Structure 1
Amino acid sequence: MSKLAAIQPLSDNVINQIAAGEVIERPASIVRELLENSLDAGATKITIELCEGGIEYILLRDDGYGIPRDQLHLALSRHCTSKLTKAEELSSIGTLGFRGEALASISSVAEIAITSRTADQPHGWRIDVRPGARMGQLQAAGHPVGTTVEVRNLFATTPARRRFLKQVRTEFLHVQKFVRRAGFCYPEVVFTLIHGSKKNLSLPAPINAVAIERRRRALFGSDFVDHSIPIEFLMPELTVRGWVGTTEYARQNSDLQFVTINRRVVRDRHVAHAVRMAYDTYIEEGRYPAYALQLEMPEGVVDVNVHPGKVEVRLHDARGIHDMVYAAVKQALGSANRLHKECDSFTTSTHTNFESTHVDLGGRVRTYSRQYATQPFSAAALSAVANNLLAIIENRFALTNDNGSILVIDLHAAITDIVRTRLERGERDSRPLLIPEVLDSEVRDDRIETLNGFGVEFGRIGEDKVVLRAVPIIISEIDPSAFADCLLSKNKTVQVEADGVATAAAVGFRAPTTMVERRRWFSQLVGQFNALGLSGGDYNIPLTSEDLEGLFGTQ
């Protein structure tokens, strides 16, 4: 075994190359770092020129503030920046760059030249650096106010890394994709991208409606523009703006998904999941929604110092942001409208009024009431026909067969009775929803706390919006939207919250889709009658053939 090498400090060149390995992956990484510097410098016009996809040559020119002559050397030194002075500032970063390592990292893997001029200088100054070499001397150069950075021969001194680069077209498309996203983040900035001698992307200044429309189509393509819905969601904690594609515009891949947070192009799994959940019931498995969303939030609630390439962030209230993005997208898709009709038509009583059901057949009208039916079955008798389910009608009535007779069961009344009884017995654990349900409501905080004690978990995402995150575990086969709507309906007053939750569970009931599942669910429902000591006869009516003949006037 060879002798253990002595511990010694690394050279600045090795340190820079290690840092470059984290920051500089491909030409698009360089364009990102340079472009972010330009935007932080207040640029309103940015031009990017590439040769061979940026592998051989990158030029970025801006009209920003420029770099003073005496700071050009510092700009190329590690951990030198004008954007951060104290550690406390890391918790509320308002600029795109802040680490002061981008230019030093680039200079360790490529040749770099910077020419810059500030408004108070008569001309510009240029400095050149080669990988592993000392910085060159400053040279006077003619240049307008702003900065030009030239990068040549990426990874020329590290052939192993250069071999990992893709084809020229692939590398160019990565650059083009980032410039498009930057153009979305900064709609007031003019961007021009040139590859070889061809202008591939031009994002004009939004001086009028025509220019704005032209810019949108250049950013996202005409198909997306023609099949997108504008979105604007304003909350104290979060603002969401942009466009979401229609449900019919779902795509085979995720290449048209843009998310920015505080004008920074990022990837965030919480935001992506929220958008996907908002589309979940509208698009097929394997299809992807298209969207371009700008999220604005206070700087102190998002940590951007979590990824070397600054493409990921950490949200302090990720769940709250998730819920608000979900609400914004779902509202834009037109699914925020609630159905109050079903709840308003349902009485909070556990007994349905059957005193008059009118049947009109061929002009003959008969009135049917319980007096024409035989006596209601007991729970035991009902259990005997649990496996003979014929149908569930309108998520309200179940029809079963009992030796030639039909038993009609009011499922709403049955569910209300069962849920109320189990809640009163202390069965109040909750079951989280896969997709949170957001709705408009001015419900008081004290009522939210009370409902949380019954297994219903609500969270507030604004003064007039709440999100339903969980329902009682004893409730199955439920539409969360109808459940929450009924529970918080202004037209319904309850003395005991168990009654309100039980009634909402009945209104929100949705029968399983297949007959096999329906029979299994119904059998489990009936099985609870005897277990809970319920009579079962309060919400079922048997109809013999004679009863049916009486209804049709043939008796």
Structure 2
Amino acid sequence: MPIRQLPAHLINQIAAGEVVERPASVVKELLENALDAGSTRIEIDIEQGGGKRIRIRDNGGGIPQTELALALSRHATSKIASLDDLEQVRSLGFRGEALPSIASVSRLILSSRHSEAPQGWKLFGDGQEIFDEPEPVAHATGTTVDVVDLFFNIPARRKFLKTEKTEFGHIEDMVRKLALSRFDVGFELNHNQKNTLRLRPVDDRSGAERRVADICGSAFVEQSLYLDYEAAGLRLWGWVGLPTFSRSQADLQYFYVNSRNVRDKLISHAVKQAYQDVMYHGRHPAFVLFLELNPQLVDVNAHPTKQEVRFREGRLVHDFLFRTLHQALADIRPGDEAGAPTQLPVQTHEPPASPEENPPQSPFFKGGGEERRPVYQAQYQPRLQMPVREQMAAYQQLYQPVVPTTITPLSPSPLEGEGAGGEGYSSDMPPLGFAIAQLHGVYILAQNATGLVVVDMHAAHERITYEYLKQSMAQDAIRSQPLLVPGSLNMSKKEADHAEQHADTFRALGFELDRLGLEKLTIRAVPSLLKESDTEALVRDVLADLITHGESSRIQNAMNEILATMACHGSVRANRKLSITEMNALLRDMERTERSGQCNHGRPTWTHMSLDQIDKLFLRGR
């Protein structure tokens, strides 16, 4: 066939294949245009799952009469004008392909009234580059896009649509995602003339939490931690679910980069690593997080649907996310209220030079400067009162017959002769309170200021011991053990090159590697803790991580698994009778230990019942 120019209608349909996958894709593109137009209220009307009709009305700035035809033309946009604009995109949509692509596979009516125009105008779109003259129409300031009979002219695409209920479910999920990105905009969603979602605009944190509760459920807000931290030109804020509030699926994970919802492998890897030491195997964390940075440092033009992004400083972003979330989860102590601002440590090192241009301000709080939001700062967790060796020696007393006078409490505790609610309890009672009894040799019952605390003593002691062992290893550094017979490792040239480039990284982790040829390495030394492990497979896995992510935590994770096993075997066992003094010593250590809310396997170590909850059990006050 000869080379020829494709007609405009076919070009638009090809573009629509990239942008318009299903009705939810149409809703996404139109909502992003409405948000970019400065709307504060958006109404979405859906009929028959979007296959019959999609109508989106907003109160944004509107489109002038003379630009209506341009809005339906390919590569026409008001959001970028030069290459410099493309390198620092601040808007959600900017390609100028959405409206003409949608018009090429539907019957589209575009109605709009500009903020300075006396009346509105409407234009019919059919995917062609030639349009009729706009017609006057009664319309408030803003824009209405009416999409009727989606894929009417492409029967093959229409056959791939799912049931009405399924397609509307995708639309509802898309609206919820965008509603979480802009708390200052109100959203109303109707399906077949029935309202299914109504969200009012908010401008404070309490209102934002109500919206998060409406979308993610009140249980998520009640069992989540709010954080707000910035460093090196990056700001991370939002809500992270407690490790005990985990999911069987990754269905409650919302991450936004400059108010754009994205799914990125680098981000997912950083979040997964942050939860690794506190999450039960096979479970997924829940979070609603917002990352703000200079638009010049992120490329949002990586995919037609703009679901994927590329960071110019990927390693910096990964480390920032991991360290922030890791420290936030580590700093959770008994008594910390879910939803309270996380106080993260002050940066003690000199951060990299921040970009000249500040990242865009979030619409979360109005105002500017220091009044826009607080920056929470605190000091690092103080060192525990006893070194690891003395601490372990003290806990070994738990394996001996109970002799209360031989145990030195690690912190002040009430006298054993005082009752649970006696006068000996001061008003500044610690978060986990004071022990009152032991249940079946497994659980510690304690009373705090608000109710009853039940502690799994083995799980709690396991976490405490594990954290002591990790801290001890970090202070003593990783010790290497030379191999009597060095092991050889055959691999690809690419892997061998990376092993040579990251020789210092392997050396810091306790490995000594030498290159014998283009595709051969020899292992001369391994970390002492991993001498019985499959070091060859571990080196291969570490190289795979270095090639993909630029770093690897596999060696540290393997060591942590060994330390966790040691902690499990070295912790107090069930059916071991403890004195009140010993139980209180364990409670005080829990309050000082990082991640003490979960054991090494991700299970909770303690739970709390308030007096109100207990009263309801016994119908008191009725």
State the TM-score, normalizing by the size of structure 2. Answer: 0.57
Secondary structure of the 1:149 match is strand
- Name the structure 1 match of 2:23: 27
Question: Partner letter of residue 250 of structure 2?
Answer: S
Q: Which position in structure 1 is the counterpart of 2:96?
A: 100
Structure 2 Cα separation of the partners of residues 291 and 41 of structure 1: 28
For residue 323 of structure 1, report the CA deviation from its aligned partner.
1.6
Q: Deviations along 1:23-43, whole A, 9 cap, x unmatched? A: 110111111111111111111
Distance 1:452 1:140, change over 3 A: same
The answer for the alignment partner of 2:508 in structure 1 is 455
CA-CA distance at 1:421 after TM superposition: 9.5
8 Å contact from structure 1 (residues 233, 328) kept in 2: yes
> Mapping of 1:15-414 within 5 angstroms?
15-131=11-127, 134-206=130-202, 211-335=207-331, 340-341=383-384
Q: In structure 1, what residue type is equivalent to 2:26?
A: I
1:204 deviation in Å? 0.8
The Cα of 1:416 is off from its aligned counterpart by 7.0
Contact 2:49/2:168 (8 A) holds in 1? yes
Q: 1:96 to 1:512 in 2, by over 3 A?
A: closer
Quick one: distance in 2 between partners of 1:453 and 1:31? 49
Q: Classify 1:342/1:112 alpha carbon distance in 2 versus 1 (closer, same or farther; 3 Å).
A: same
CA 243–89 in structure 1, closer or farther in 2 if over 3 Å, else same: same
Identity of aligned residues (%): 38
- SS of 1:20's partner is helix
- Name the CA distance, whole Å, in 1 between partners of 2:84 and 2:299: 12
Q: Which amino acid aligns with 1:152?
A: V
SS in structure 2 of the partner of residue 125 of structure 1: strand
Cα separation, 2, equivalents of 1:128 and 1:72:
10
The answer (yes or no) to whether the contact 1:231–1:328 under 8 Å persists in 2 is no
**What is the distance in 2 between the residues matched to 1:271 and 1:144?**
41
Moved more, 330-339 or 240-249: 330-339
The residue matched to 2:143 in structure 1 has which SS? strand
> Cα 1:343–1:154, aligned 2, differ >3 Å: closer, same or farther?
farther
Counterpart in the other structure of 2:529: 476
1:309–1:149 CA distance, 2 compared to 1 (3 A): same
Separation in 1, partners of 2:107, 2:116: 28
CA distance in 2, matches of 1:362, 1:320: 53
CA distance in 2, matches of 1:238, 1:209: 20
Residue correspondence of structure 1 range 521-540 to structure 2 within 5 A? none
Q: Equivalents in 2 of 1:155, 1:508: separation in Å?
A: 54
User: How many angstroms does 1:105 deviate by?
Assistant: 0.5
Q: Tell me the distance in 1 between the aligned counterparts of 2:242 and 2:253.
A: 13
Residue 217 of structure 1: how far off its partner (Å): 1.8
Q: Is the alpha carbon distance of 1:8 and 1:216 closer, same or farther for their aligned partners in structure 2, counting shifts above 3 Å?
A: same
Say which is worse superposed, 171-180 or 59-68, in terms of deviation: 171-180
- 1:334 Cα deviation after fit: 3.1
Secondary structure of 1:259's aligned partner: strand
Deviation sequence 1:82-136 (CA, Å, 0-9, x none): 1111123221111111111110100111111111111211100000123558423
1:128-164 Cα distance to aligned partner (Å, 9 max, x none): 1235584232100111111011001110100101111
CA distance in 2: counterparts of 1:362 and 1:292, whole angstroms:
50
Task: State whether structure 2 residue 560 is matched by structure 1 residue 513.
Answer: no
Give the match for residue 534 of structure 1: none
User: Is residue 243–residue 292 contact of structure 1 (8 Å, CA) maintained in 2?
Assistant: yes
Which 5+ residue runs of structure 1 have no aligned equivalent?
Answer: 348-358, 366-393, 396-411, 423-450, 458-471, 479-506, 519-555
Change in Cα spacing, 1:167 to 1:341, as seen in structure 2 (3 Å) is same
- How far apart are residue 335 of structure 1 and its match? 4.6
Give the 3 Å change call, closer, same or farther, for CA 70–325 of structure 1 in structure 2: same
Structure-1-length-normalised TM-score: 0.63
Between the aligned partners of 2:65 and 2:563, the Cα distance in structure 1 is: 74
Letter in 2 for 1:117: R
Matched to 1:86, the amino acid is: S
The amino acid that maps onto 1:261 is V
1:274 Cα deviation from its structure 2 partner: 1.3
How far off its partner does 1:215 sit? 1.9
Conserved? CA contact 1:477–1:509, under 8 Å: no
For the residue of structure 1 that corresponds to 2:330, the secondary structure is: coil
Query: 1:146 and 1:87 mapped to 2: Cα distance?
Result: 29
Give structure 2 stretches of 5+ with no counterpart.
333-379, 391-399, 407-464, 467-471, 483-503, 511-524, 532-558, 571-622
Task: Report how many aligned residue pairs link the two structures.
Answer: 389
- The answer to whether the 8 A contact 1:419-1:475 is kept is yes
- Bigger-Rg structure (1/2): 1
Aligned to 1:433: none
CA distance in 2, matches of 1:239, 1:418: 33
Of 179-188 and 67-76, more deviation after overlay is shown by 179-188
Asked if the contact 2:234/2:292 (under 8 Å) is kept, the reply is yes
What residue is the counterpart of 1:382 in the other structure? none
Note closer, same or farther for the CA distance 1:43–1:345 as it changes in structure 2 (3 Å cut).
Answer: same
C-alpha separation between the residues in 2 aligned to 1:39 and 1:49? 17
Cα–Cα, structure 1 residues 509 and 190, in superposed 2: closer, same or farther, change >3 Å? closer
Q: Does the aligned pair in 1 maintain the 2:180–2:211 contact within 8 Å?
A: no
Separation (CA, whole Å) in 1 of partners of 2:561 and 2:271: 26
Q: Secondary structure at the match of 2:189?
A: strand
RMSD, matched Cα: 3.7
Q: How many angstroms apart in 1 are the aligned matches of 2:403 and 2:140? A: 91
Alpha-carbon distance in 2 for matches of 1:125, 1:169: 34
CA change 1:344–1:66 in 2 (3 A) is same
Check whether the contact 2:481–2:527 (CA below 8 A) recurs between aligned residues.
no
Residue 220 of structure 1 deviates from its aligned partner by 1.2
